[in-house]
Amino acid sequence: MKRNTETTTESERRTPAAEPEMDVQQTQTWHRSSVLPKQVQAQAASEEKVGAEVLQTPSRPNDLLLEILDWLRYILSAILIGLLLVVFVIQRNAVIGESMDPTLHPNDQVLVEKVSKLWHGISYGDIVTIRTRDLPQHEDGPNIIKRVIGMPGDTIEIKDGVVYRNGEYLKETYLPDSTVTEIRNPDYAQVTLGPDEYFVMGDNRAVSLDSRSIGPIPADHMIGEVLLRFYPWQDFGQP
């Protein structure tokens, strides 16, 4: 009977000792399955919250100033490019007066390019714009538009209502058939052009104030060649 009692007692002693080991395992299992995922979720939620706060943070004054300066840089660059184009490449001109009738009419809007005179020069028949500063009868007046009749080295003669170039009759197909070219100044009825001189006339020979009156035009007074007429729209194109 004592043995049974002792056995029972030992059994009772061992049984409580096993229970704590199961509690530890359960605790570890609970820790792995429950605690860590909650921590990860909490951390992810915290990061999302911080990210949202960063996105909602208003721009600092320095950032706004940098953005304004960046826009100013683009605007100033565009203005500078536009000025360079107008000064060196192309510009808009309005026709004043009737000296180029019927080819060009008063208030026609034309584009004048300034590059070709530097590359391959000005050619016969080109319509050009001319700076009038220091020209006789045009001092500081508006620029004029004329047609090139003679180039450096040519001899131009006006006789019997027509034009001769280097001794040959000049057929001017751009003029109406009834056009008469009159002598305006006897000094320029026959002239041989220098190395940097051009002889120009308007298509409306009856009213044009041109080389017949003021003589040859120096090369440095040539602004550029009329590229096209863009207004009025019905006459759009090269004149």
Distance CA 224, CA 130 (A): 8
Q: If residue 91 lies in a helix (H) or strand (E), which one and from where to where?
A: strand 90-94
Note if 208 is an active site residue: no
Give all strands of the β-sheet with 155-159 in edge-to-edge order. Answer: 168-169, 162-165, 155-159, 190-192
Note if 99 is an active site residue: yes
Distance CA 213, CA 216 (A): 9
The angle subtended at Cα 163 by Cα 157 and Cα 167, nearest 5°, is 55
> Could you please report the per-residue DSSP string of 157-192?
EEETTEEEETTEE---TTS-TT-----S-GGGSEEE
Catalytic residue among 2, 11, 99, 213: 99
Catalytic residue among 114, 146, 208, 211: 146
Catalytic residues: 99, 146
